[in-house]
């Protein structure tokens, strides 16, 4: 698949459960998270806003925002099919997610990303929190 063959269409929509599972499994995240298709599908209704990138109707990328609609937005699950990476699709998805947060006047836009992607997100205006800055994660559940 090459983006040269057809234009990419960006839509403010949530992927279907099957589309999201396919993208998630291709992302490599399943090495760190063993999660069923059913549990992946359960995440979708919780998206406050989503973008799907499609080529000839087929999904090639997605990204979602979780949020309260006023104070906080958390960008998660930005995934582009491996063979489509490097063509600006992830950047365009991010720009649209960020623009929606700005349009809705969200006060804090945060990001959860894969390791090794810091440079990509810094180009979009994100900064890493200082070591003693706000924000932490729970080491283990249970």
- The 3-class SS string of 1-24 reads CCHHHCCEEEECCCCCHHHHHHHH
Token pair recorded at residue 22: 């396919």
Residue 138: predicted pLDDT: 63
Residue 3: predicted pLDDT: 52
How much of the chain exceeds pLDDT 70, in percent? 89
Cα angle: 20, vertex 59, 4; to 5 degrees: 150
What's the pTM value of the predicted model, to 2 decimals?
0.87
Q: Which CATH number applies to 3-122: 3.40.630.30, 2.60.40.10, 3.90.1150.10, 3.40.50.970?
A: 3.40.630.30
Read off the pLDDT of residues 64-86 as tens digits, 9 standing for 90 and up: 999 999 999 999 999 999 999 99
Token pair recorded at residue 120: 């990509």
Residue 66: predicted pLDDT: 96
Residue ranges of domains in the chain = 3-122
Residue 141: predicted pLDDT: 58
State the residue for tokens 């249970």. Answer: 142
Read off the pLDDT of residues 13-54 as tens digits, 9 standing for 90 and up: 999 999 999 999 888 766 667 888 898 899 999 999 999 999
Q: For the chain, what is the mean pLDDT?
A: 88
């Amino acid at each position: 698949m090459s983006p040269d063959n057809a234009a990419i269409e960006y839509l403010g929509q949530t992927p279907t459960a099957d589309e999201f599972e396919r993208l998630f499994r291709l992302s490599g995240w399943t090495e760190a998270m063993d999660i069923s298709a059913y549990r992946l599908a359960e995440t979708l209704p919780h998206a406050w806003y989503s973008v799907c990138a499609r080529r000839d109707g087929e999904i090639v990328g997605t990204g979602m925002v979780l949020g309260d609609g006023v104070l906080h937005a958390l960008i998660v699950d930005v995934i582009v099919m491996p063979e489509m990476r490097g063509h600006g699709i992830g950047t365009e998805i991010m720009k649209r997610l960020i623009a929606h947060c700005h349009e809705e006047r969200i006060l804090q836009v945060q990001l959860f990303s894969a390791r090794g992607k810091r440079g990509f997100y810094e180009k979009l205006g994100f900064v890493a929190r200082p070591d003693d800055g706000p924000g932490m994660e729970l080491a283990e559940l249970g």
